[in-house]
Amino acid sequence: MPRGMSPASATRFRPGPLRGALRVAPDKSISHRALLIGALTGGELQLSNLNTGADLEATRQAVRALGARLDGEGGEVTLHAPQRLHAPGVVDCLNSGTTMRLLMGILAGANLPARLTGDDSLSRRPMERVAGPLRDAGALITTTNGHAPVELAAHTGLKAVAHHLRVPSAQVKTALLLAALTAGTSAEITGDEHSRDHTERMLRYLGASIAWDGTRIALAASTLNARDIEVPGDPSAAAFAIVGALVTPHSEVRIERLCLNPTRDGLLRALQAMGADLTIRDAHEVCGEPVGDVVARSSSLHAIDLDPALLPTMIDEVPALAVAAAYARGTTRIRNAAELRVKESDRVETIAAMLEAAGVTVARHPDGLDVSGAEHMNERIEVASHGDHRIAMAAAALAAGSPSGVQVDDAGCARVSYPQFHEAWEFLQQGVAR
């Protein structure tokens, strides 16, 4: 048993096929943006199917601190945006890097002083990648050795944003776009490599004058309209059920109303390259985002060298891909993924440790790992999640195709992004269609 695991607190995911249809947790990235960008509209809008995880609670509190009122509970909320944003004082961003980084942009553009804090995990994550470009545009921001707490002070005004991304990042470009938007100025951002474009899509849906082509974004000074927003299912949440179905005989899972944004479908493309039986049905668009149903069936997978161009579209799904690789023929190689080391855990290490506990051969690299498919999994598999929600959920997918299941010391951390994960997993293992 991993050090620190107690039988009383551990969760055991059992083996067996996954069958049925369900809607997974609402997309976390889009939910953050719906709240934060909605608060900039100056009007009233209905937000439907919001993610209710712990990270989103941080963003709800931040939006309230900016002066917005939220009526309703759970995923259905009426947002009353303030006519003028309030200085929020101290904002605890909990474990949410998205909340902190996007809020930095809004506060810098609105010229509002604030102090942004977070838990121990968030305080280890890099913040200069956002603070530096905002300083270049005229903001006064101080980080703590490059990390939180982050202090924003009043400044003389933000100039037009012009920035070249050294590393493609949806959070960096979003912070800069929101800074320009709240400052009433323009932004031109280059150097992107088709990172998530949820912000661009939402700004366009709400009436902003914005154009982008996957490498360059141009935003003119704009005023937003208050329009209702429905959030589709999260590809990162769906990843584990999809992979669990692929690696487990006699499985068939249908994930309904899933976000199929081409900047988020990298896992599906990687799995198809591995020979996965995946089908897309009922594709259409909701509030500027492409959505549809994904059907995954048991498959015989083979190893791939992951195309580095796919990584920006699936960085959060690498733990799920690694599980698929553990059941595939040959050695799957994942490179140019150094960002894995600065997630909620060092995911190169935590993924490797999880798979090695199952008897899988893994080679670690500074920017990724090699996973050699195992002919036989260990009978007894015990995993430490290190408080990382994606590692805990990946362990469930690993368990589905294993001989005897997987025991995880802290699987409750899945609630950070997917509060109903355990119920959804049990539903699929019961094989009840709905």
Q: What is the pLDDT of residue 194?
A: 87
Distant-in-sequence, close-in-space partners of 379: CB < 8 Å, separation ≥ 6 = 403, 404
pLDDT at 330 over 70: yes
Beta bridge partners, 189, equal 163, 217
Instruction: Say how far residue 129 (Cα) sits from the centre of its chain.
Output: 18
What average pLDDT does this structure show over 326-341?
A: 96
Instruction: Say how far residue 383 (Cα) sits from the centre of its chain.
Output: 22
pLDDT at 1 over 80: no
Q: What percent of the chain has pLDDT over 90?
A: 91
Q: Which of 230, 248, 283 is the last residue of a domain?
A: 230
**DSSP string covering 341-357, please?**
GGSSS-HHHHHHHHHHH
pLDDT at 60 over 80: yes
Same domain, 359 and 308: yes
Q: What is the pLDDT of residue 9?
A: 63
CA distance 207 to 227: 9
Same domain, 359 and 323: yes
Copy the structure tokens of residue 32: 């953050």
pLDDT at 7 over 50: no
Same domain, 221 and 286: no
94 closest CA partner among 140, 34, 148, 153: 148
> Within a domain: residue 6?
no
CA-based torsion, 203, 209, 212, 217: positive or negative: negative
> Within a domain: residue 320?
yes
> Within a domain: residue 393?
yes
Q: For the segment 168-190, what is each residue's pLDDT rounded down to a tens digit?
A: 899 999 999 999 999 999 999 99
Q: What percent of the chain has pLDDT over 70?
A: 97
Residues spanned by the domain of 269: 11-25+232-430
Give me the number of domains the chain comprises. 2
Q: What are phi and psi of 322, to 5 degrees?
A: -65, -35
What average pLDDT does this structure show over 304-331?
A: 95
What average pLDDT does this structure show over 354-368?
A: 97
Residue scoring higher pLDDT (3 or 171): 171
Same domain, 265 and 164: no
> Within a domain: residue 4?
no
Give catalytic status of residue 370 as yes or no. Answer: no
> Within a domain: residue 5?
no
Residue owning tokens 């990843």? 239
pLDDT at 434 over 70: no
Q: For the segment 390-425, what is each residue's pLDDT rounded down to a tens digit?
A: 999 999 999 999 999 999 999 999 988 898 999 999
Q: What is the pLDDT of residue 428?
A: 97
Q: What is the pLDDT of residue 191?
A: 96
Q: For the segment 176-232, what is each residue's pLDDT rounded down to a tens digit?
A: 999 999 999 999 999 998 889 999 999 999 999 999 999 999 999 999 999 999 999
Q: What is the pLDDT of residue 171?
A: 95
Catalytically annotated residue among 27, 197, 234, 316: 316
Q: What is the pLDDT of residue 5?
A: 44
Same domain, 399 and 265: yes
pLDDT at 4 over 70: no
pLDDT at 53 over 90: no
- Which band of pLDDT confidence, cut at 50, 70 and 90, is reported for residue 433? very low
pLDDT at 300 over 90: yes
Q: What is the pLDDT of residue 366?
A: 96
Q: Which of 230, 252, 278 is the last residue of a domain?
A: 230
Q: What is the pLDDT of residue 353?
A: 97
Task: Report the CATH number that the domain containing residue 71 is assigned in CATH.
Answer: 3.65.10.10
Q: For the segment 87-114, what is each residue's pLDDT rounded down to a tens digit?
A: 999 999 999 999 999 999 999 999 999 9
Copy the structure tokens of residue 313: 């579209």
Beta bridge partners, 405, equal none
Q: For the segment 122-168, what is each residue's pLDDT rounded down to a tens digit?
A: 999 999 999 999 999 999 999 999 999 999 999 999 999 999 999 88
